Structure 1
Amino acid sequence: MSTKRIPHWADVTLVPLLSVFLAFVISAVLIWAIGESPWEAVKLMVDGAFGSSYGWGYTLYYATNFMFTGLAVAVAFQARLFNIGGEGQAALGGLGVALVCLYIPWPHWTLALLGASLGAAAFGALWAFIPGYLQAKRGSHIVITTIMFNFIAASFLNYMLVSFLRPQGSQDPSSPRFPDATTLPKLHEILGLFGIPFSKVPPVNISLLIATALCFAVWWMLWRTRLGYQIRAFGESEPAAKYAGISPARITIIVMLISGGLAGLMALNNVMGEQERLVLNAVEGAGFIGIAVALMGRNHPFGVFLAAILFGFLYQGGAELALWTGIPRELIVVIQALVILFTGALDNMVRIPIAKLFAIRRTG
């Protein structure tokens, strides 16, 4: 049964919603099996993530990370390139942010933000350029090279922190704190300008606005520019793209540069915005979560935005569950994994029955 018979609206809304619903049903069964109330768990998750400005702040902070990495995966996948190196690219983006913030005397956070953005994007793009070049020129598979580069990035970052950036006498593998002039405005400060009260505790900051703007910018690039058309044409059919004069090697390298730059920009949120220093495990798996975000969002920037909010909810709501109930933290991870499983690996389990239902409706 061809899934092309599914209407576009059903593909982008019905399929992911049903996938998430099935994941939540199985999660509810698991919660019930350990003696907890699924309904109370859902209420606690929703209230913890959306019931206060405190919860909203952490939900949006996590969502900001996932927007950057989700967009990185989505852009690459438009060219049928599976970039799973977002973890390493985001880590190297953090190194770019740290070097810019520590060694350039910025007079104001606006200029520091511009410089850090360039540093983060450049380091992330460079780390993605190498696998892109190897695929374009040497035929190396992008999946293998990007996942291997995650491990190389982690080792390289550890070396840089321990050998060069760590303050003398410190045992913590982290950089010094960034100067005060590089401190980014938090969301409560931005909303305060308009008289809107918001919790001061969550680390959500102006990077949220940057990530949101990038969702629109990436959409415009992919669907309103010549380069975007070439990327999508190459992704649909490489032979047809070559016949039309589109260079596969050029598109592969450009797409990976854009993808790596987007992943690297995540460091604005977690390194510059939250930690205000570079720590060893600053990315915390957001590079891999970006894959699930892109899959759930159907590799569309607006879908990535919505999927990032969902995963921000899962992270913040899951933290509340682990704190206030007897549900083990490991089960929280299982719930998050179920959402990833159903929206990614088991996508066709939902898609094929829906396609059959639409086919029956047409013939009925």
Structure 2
Amino acid sequence: MQVLSKINKQSSIFTSLVSVFLGLLVGGVMMILAGYNPIQAYIALFQSAFLQPFDIGETIRTITPLILTGLAVGLAFRTGLFNIGVEGQFIIGQLAAVIVALKLDLPPVIHAIVAVIAGALGGALWAFLPGYLKAKRGVHEVITTIMLNFIALYLSNLTVREWLTDGADKTKEIPESASLHWNMLSQLFDSSRVHFGIFIAIVAAFFMYYLLWKTTTGYQLRAVGYNPHASEYAGMNVSRNIVLSMMISGVFAGLAGASELLGTAGYQAIQASYTGIGFDGIAVSLLGGNSPLGIVLSASLFGILTYGGSNMEYVAAVPREVIRVVFAAIIFFVAANIVRWVAQRRKKKVIDKGGEGK
């Protein structure tokens, strides 16, 4: 009974860990059915993320935008909103950052800071419209954010082709003064592409925690998310808090786009489809339980799997699409509450047996 009681009182961390294990198990079964060696594949995957300084740096680089997009989704979830538009806000953050990087001539460091701020503001403004429509017109944010994803993608492509270039498929490289690439940090990880964005992501995680659980504004944001009618009765401005929540979520997404462009890509290109980083943020947030620490840990796992997947393909000849299957399986087990369902079933059986004994 004591063991079952512990299982019944499981934390979201335990649920996530079990879901990760089940997801990896599903991936392993798929590899076996396809004729691959799952043990060799997973060894290659995790070795590529941890053994060499260069690979560690590249793994951190991969983790960075996932933390920020996960925070964007998580903050919205915590305040009762479902921000499916993180991908679009990410793209607008990239676009705003590259415009500042290419069009303004500023001193080093200041140039990078202004470009990052521009990306954050771009994401916030792109999130403002669905927040406003939700607050004032009752339009569901899922619909508006999905539509704005498409608009962001094609607006970015149009801006690159018609304004930032003379019909080329990508902009020129951003100047060194606007780059988040820090040579000292890169050299520490064997000249990898790790950049200053990881520090922005960690600060953003602390900010989300402090905002939501240590400030009056955060309390109101969460209260409105839990029960807008009761919050309004208590004197809170529901409309203002909905818009504010969406805009802060957009700030995180815009920071992700800006840091990825200024730290990794270095230019904005015509995109035939979405980057996928914004959508991965949904999975990161769900696995992390929508908490800042959980999101950082979840993003770390997804970053390891994403970067290690390329080495898995090279060493074990396993297609990297298998990793996407693992992602999907992990989120399926989290969303389906498999662990909680099993615990409840076992507890019910014990109770029924106890009743029969009496």
TM-score where L is the length of structure 1 = 0.90
- In the TM superposition, residue 280 of structure 1 has moved relative to its aligned partner by 2.9
- Aligned amino acid, residue 38 of structure 2: P
Q: For residues 331 and 95 of structure 2, what CA distance do their matches in structure 1 show?
A: 29
User: Is the contact between residue 100 and residue 115 of structure 1 (CA under 8 Å) also seen in structure 2?
Assistant: yes
Cα 1:355–1:300 change in 2 (3 A) is farther
TM-score where L is the length of structure 2 = 0.91
Deviates more, 1:111-120 or 1:145-154: 111-120
User: Is the contact between residue 82 and residue 141 of structure 2 (CA under 8 Å) also seen in structure 1?
Assistant: yes
**Alignment-derived partner of residue 245 in structure 1:** 235
- In the TM superposition, residue 238 of structure 1 has moved relative to its aligned partner by 1.7
- Aligned amino acid, residue 353 of structure 1: V
- Aligned amino acid, residue 180 of structure 1: E
Q: For residues 234 and 345 of structure 2, what CA distance do their matches in structure 1 show?
A: 36
**Alignment-derived partner of residue 41 in structure 1:** 41
Matched, 1:353 2:348: no
Cα 1:354–1:160 change in 2 (3 A) is same
Aligned partner of 2:224 among 230, 234, 237 = 234
User: Is the contact between residue 87 and residue 278 of structure 2 (CA under 8 Å) also seen in structure 1?
Assistant: yes
- Aligned amino acid, residue 121 of structure 1: A
**Alignment-derived partner of residue 290 in structure 1:** 281
Q: For residues 8 and 350 of structure 1, what CA distance do their matches in structure 2 show?
A: 9
**Alignment-derived partner of residue 189 in structure 1:** 184
Cα 1:350–1:139 change in 2 (3 A) is same
Q: For residues 73 and 350 of structure 2, what CA distance do their matches in structure 1 show?
A: 35
**Alignment-derived partner of residue 309 in structure 2:** 318
User: Is the contact between residue 216 and residue 301 of structure 1 (CA under 8 Å) also seen in structure 2?
Assistant: yes
Matched, 1:208 2:208: no
- Aligned amino acid, residue 215 of structure 2: T
Q: For residues 126 and 296 of structure 2, what CA distance do their matches in structure 1 show?
A: 24
- In the TM superposition, residue 229 of structure 1 has moved relative to its aligned partner by 0.4
User: Is the contact between residue 44 and residue 316 of structure 2 (CA under 8 Å) also seen in structure 1?
Assistant: no
Q: For residues 51 and 256 of structure 2, what CA distance do their matches in structure 1 show?
A: 26
**Alignment-derived partner of residue 142 in structure 1:** 141
Q: For residues 295 and 87 of structure 1, what CA distance do their matches in structure 2 show?
A: 16
Q: Which runs of 5+ in 2 are unaligned?
A: none
Aligned 1:116-195 pairs, distance under 5 A: 116-166=115-165, 168=166, 171=168, 173-186=169-182, 189-190=184-185
Task: Give SS of 2:11's match.
Answer: helix
Cα 1:58–1:340 change in 2 (3 A) is farther
- In the TM superposition, residue 353 of structure 1 has moved relative to its aligned partner by 1.9
- In the TM superposition, residue 106 of structure 1 has moved relative to its aligned partner by 1.4
- In the TM superposition, residue 269 of structure 1 has moved relative to its aligned partner by 2.4
Aligned partner of 2:260 among 270, 278, 281 = 270
Cα 1:277–1:245 change in 2 (3 A) is same
- In the TM superposition, residue 61 of structure 1 has moved relative to its aligned partner by 1.0
- In the TM superposition, residue 359 of structure 1 has moved relative to its aligned partner by 7.4
**Alignment-derived partner of residue 329 in structure 2:** 338
Cα 1:231–1:158 change in 2 (3 A) is same
- In the TM superposition, residue 6 of structure 1 has moved relative to its aligned partner by 8.0
Q: For residues 178 and 52 of structure 1, what CA distance do their matches in structure 2 show?
A: 29
Task: Give SS of 2:10's match.
Answer: helix
- In the TM superposition, residue 349 of structure 1 has moved relative to its aligned partner by 1.9
Q: For residues 271 and 137 of structure 1, what CA distance do their matches in structure 2 show?
A: 34
User: Is the contact between residue 100 and residue 119 of structure 1 (CA under 8 Å) also seen in structure 2?
Assistant: yes
Q: Which runs of 5+ in 1 are unaligned?
A: none
Q: For residues 244 and 357 of structure 1, what CA distance do their matches in structure 2 show?
A: 42
Matched, 1:257 2:247: yes
What is the RMSD computed on CA atoms of the aligned residues? 2.2
Q: For residues 9 and 305 of structure 1, what CA distance do their matches in structure 2 show?
A: 23
| Equivalent residue pairs, number | 348
List 4+ stretches of structure 1 deviating above 6 A: 5-9, 358-364
- In the TM superposition, residue 226 of structure 1 has moved relative to its aligned partner by 0.4
- Of all paired residues, the percent bearing the same amino acid is 36
**Alignment-derived partner of residue 103 in structure 1:** 103
User: Is the contact between residue 102 and residue 174 of structure 2 (CA under 8 Å) also seen in structure 1?
Assistant: yes
Task: Give SS of 1:76's match.
Answer: helix
